[in-house]
Amino acid sequence: MRVTWDRYFMNLAVQAATRSTCPRKHVGAVIVRDKAVLATGYNGSIRGLPHCTDVGCLMENDHCVRTVHAEANAILQAARHGVRIEGADIYVTASPCWECFKLIANAGIKRVLFGEFYRDERIREYAREAGIELVHLGLEGESRV
């Protein structure tokens, strides 16, 4: 059976998550416009520094702060390569944290499709105010009630 475009891009985000180097949560992100992939990202350490899988997580307030989140890495990848992402969609295996949501909003991304909701309810209210569509797409094989 042929998958929908949304499922196809979420599957790519799931694949990107396999590159994650923080054992606490593997997250992948794919930025798309007009059915074309613009950038990808996964959560991993600061470029050139040790990964959590090598030296352990750096914990603050129950969060690992050694990693750069998948959404931020995808936005940064686009910036490094001069790719315009305004008006694009982002597919993320887990909904964005507050800090990543702010980056997504300021980058001009208009739709956030996520596999699982993760922690931060604030994004729902602010997405509405900012005109950003949030779509809980779910992950492949996930049963949603």
Write out the catalytic residue numbers: 71
DSSP string, the chain: -PPPHHHHHHHHHHHHHTT---TT---EEEEEETTEEEEEEE-EESTTS--HHHH---EETTEE-SEEPHHHHHHHHHHHTT---TT-EEEEEEPPPHHHHHHHHHHT--EEEEEE--S-THHHHHHHHHTPEEEE---TT----
Task: Decide if 44 contacts 67 (C-beta within 8 A).
Answer: yes
